[in-house]
Amino acid sequence: MKDIEFKLNSIDIHPNSEIKGTISVSYPGRYDGVVINTQILDSNEHIIYKSYNGKNISQNVSRLFINKDVMTQDKAEFTALINFEPKQEHEIKFRVSIIEQHKEIESQIIFAKYSK
């Protein structure tokens, strides 16, 4: 098993539909947390993270760091959404990384599709 496993509820995303993701870390060393970076290709738009591990996020963030201290059994769940109307289909790059002392230890990338 890899040190990080990342899954999305769907890789076919539509406007204002909730995106759910789960992250599991099995890294044997010490780490500070995980970070989720998302890029909507061919667009200046951003994804908006709404919650992680049941805790609502009060401000709109487009990059999400989840501290290891709130990751029960080294797992995290998050929700997010994209709320612009696409004129074309976009590819979305989700990159989840394990962070240790400001360094990336390992990452996993998932590509999804965003369309009407």
CATH number of 16's domain: 2.60.40.10
User: Which pLDDT tens digit goes with each residue over 72-115?
Assistant: 999 999 999 998 999 999 999 999 999 999 999 999 999 999 99
User: Which pLDDT tens digit goes with each residue over 9-23?
Assistant: 999 999 989 999 999
Report the distance separating Cα 114 and Cα 110, nearest Å: 13
pLDDT of res. 1 = 63
User: Which pLDDT tens digit goes with each residue over 23-33?
Assistant: 999 999 999 99
Structural domain count, the chain: 1
Q: 22 with 45: CB under 8 angstroms?
A: no
Mean pLDDT of the chain: 93
| SS3 label, residue 34 | strand
For 53, the domain range is 4-114
Specify the DSSP element, H or E, that contains 60: strand 55-61
Report the distance separating Cα 70 and Cα 57, nearest Å: 14
